[in-house]
């Protein structure tokens, strides 16, 4: 009998299968600070979500039917926690592969008394594929994804046709995919990929970029980019029926 259950790359590799990985990140082995380690230990049970647990039911998870916002690659989580704190009428799910960032985010959320946020420490591609039900999200946020500047590394960029399709599947009709980048060439590629993807409408008046929305707090990478004199491009696309 064929085994049809979905396996992560790690599980498949343990069984001796070779799977070509082109990932949007390189795992940095940054050390956890004491505070991050403590936050993970104390609060993972209440705030953490595990990829291996499979499909989630957001209403059961949060104990309400509030709209759900997904943020992919939240870094240290400062802007995500700020957004969650400012919008108690929404539920937030963050996904990040960098463990110190996940620890920092959980620690800050606890300090700020934020209880409408849950996080995965996992590859967002696999979380989208295995954990989120279809049409469960009202917003997907992707702020300052790794730009992978060199042309030979563009295949590592997270925004590409298959990713855009996965986002479309998980958004509700009328839901919005919001991207921001400080790398002009990536902004142009995002615009091209999104414009050619079926099932989306650009919310920009000129069919390109939208003004920076007030709802998006300054992120760490944006702040760094601004200090280097970088521009910022925001894109918002709505899922069509
Ligand atoms: C350039 S940083 C931006 C962080 C944050 N959004 C900000 O603006 O400060 C990109 C982040 O995306 C994370 N990342 C990259 N690929 C990812 C993936 N497939 N799943 C989850 N996180 C990812 C990286 O670990 C990194 O923290």
pLDDT over threshold 80, residue 188? yes
**Which has more pLDDT, 20 or 210?**
210
pLDDT over threshold 50, residue 28? yes
Mean pLDDT estimate for the chain: 92
In a domain? residue 19 = no
pLDDT over threshold 60, residue 18? no
In a domain? residue 5 = no
Residues with CB under 6 A from ligand 1: 24-25, 72-75, 95-98, 101, 123-125, 143-146, 158, 219-222
- Please choose, from the candidates 154, 128, 190, the residue with its C-alpha nearest in 3D space to the C-alpha of residue 22: 154
pLDDT score for 11: 63
Give the β-pairing of 117-121 and 200-202.
Answer: unpaired
Atom of ligand 1 nearest to the CA of 180: 8
Burial code (b: 16+ CB inside 10 Å, e: under 16) for 75-85 equals bbbbbbbbbbb
pLDDT score for 2: 39
pLDDT score for 10: 60
In a domain? residue 174 = yes
The domain in which residue 211 lies consists of: 49-239
In a domain? residue 17 = no
In a domain? residue 25 = no
Q: Name the 3-class secondary structure at 48.
A: strand
The rounded Å distance from CA 95 to ligand 1 centre is 8
Element (H, E) at 134: none
pLDDT over threshold 70, residue 131? yes
We report the CATH number of the domain holding residue 79 as 3.40.50.150
In a domain? residue 18 = no
What domain count does the chain have?
Answer: 1
- Please choose, from the candidates 69, 89, 62, 201, the residue with its C-alpha nearest in 3D space to the C-alpha of residue 142: 69
Sequence-separated (6 or more) residues with CB below 8 Å from residue 145: 24, 72, 73, 157, 158, 159, 179, 181, 186
Average pLDDT over residues 133-140: 98
Of all protein residues, the one whose alpha carbon is nearest to atom 14 of ligand 1 is 73
**What tokens appear for 221 in the block?**
């990478």
Strands (E), 127-209: 137-143, 171-181, 200-202
Residue positions annotated with a catalytic role: 146
Digit-coded pLDDT (tens) for 59-84: 999 999 999 999 999 999 999 999 99
Average pLDDT over residues 85-105: 98
Average pLDDT over residues 124-145: 98
pLDDT score for 230: 87
Of all protein residues, the one whose alpha carbon is nearest to atom 24 of ligand 1 is 73
Residue at token pair 């008394």: 113
Give the confidence band of 178 by pLDDT, cuts at 50, 70, 90. very high
**Which has more pLDDT, 214 or 10?**
214
Query: Cα separations (Å) of 12 from 8, 9, 162?
Result: 6, 5, 21
In a domain? residue 92 = yes
The rounded Å distance from CA 146 to ligand 1 centre is 6
Of all protein residues, the one whose alpha carbon is nearest to atom 23 of ligand 1 is 73
Burial status of residue 150 (CB atoms within 10 A of its CB: 0-12, 13-18, 19 or more) = exposed
Rounded to whole angstroms, how far apart are CA atoms 230 and 184? 9
**Which has more pLDDT, 227 or 191?**
191
The rounded Å distance from CA 104 to ligand 1 centre is 14
Atom of ligand 1 nearest to the CA of 73: 12
Atom of ligand 1 nearest to the CA of 127: 20
pLDDT over threshold 80, residue 221? yes
- Please choose, from the candidates 116, 138, 168, 169, the residue with its C-alpha nearest in 3D space to the C-alpha of residue 67: 138
| Residue set of the binding site for S-adenosyl-L-methionine | 71, 96, 123, 146
In a domain? residue 13 = no
Give the confidence band of 114 by pLDDT, cuts at 50, 70, 90. very high
The rounded Å distance from CA 4 to ligand 1 centre is 30
**Residue to mutate, 22, 81, 97, ligand 1, most ligand atoms under 8 Å from C-beta:** 97
């Amino acid at each position: 009998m064929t085994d049809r259950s979905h396996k992560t790359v790690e599980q498949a590799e343990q069984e001796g299968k070779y799977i070509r990985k082109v990932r949007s990140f390189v795992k940095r082995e940054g050390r956890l600070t004491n505070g991050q380690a403590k936050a993970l230990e104390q609060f993972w049970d209440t705030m953490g979500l595990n990829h291996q647990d499979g499909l989630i039911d957001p209403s059961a998870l949060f104990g309400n039917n509030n709209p759900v916002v997904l943020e992919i690659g939240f870094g240290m989580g400062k802007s995500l926690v700020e957004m969650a704190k400012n919008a108690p009428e929404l539920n937030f799910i963050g996904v990040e592969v960098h463990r110190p960032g996940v620890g920092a985010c959980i620690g800050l959320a606890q300090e700020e008394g934020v209880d409408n946020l849950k996080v995965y420490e996992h590859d967002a591609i696999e979380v989208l594929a295995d954990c989120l039900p279809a049409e469960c999200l009202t917003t997907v946020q992707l702020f300052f994804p790794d730009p992978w500047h060199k042309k030979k590394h563009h295949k590592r960029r997270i925004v590409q046709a298959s990713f855009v399709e996965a986002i479309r599947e998980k958004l509700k009709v009328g839901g919005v995919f919001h991207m921001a980048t400080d790398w002009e060439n990536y902004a142009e590629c995002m615009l091209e990929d999104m414009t050619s993807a079926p099932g989306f409408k650009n919310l920009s008046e000129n069919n390109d970029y939208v003004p920076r929305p007030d709802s998006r707090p300054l992120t760490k990478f944006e702040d760094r980019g601004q200090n280097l004199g970088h521009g910022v491009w925001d894109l918002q696309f709505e899922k069509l029926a």
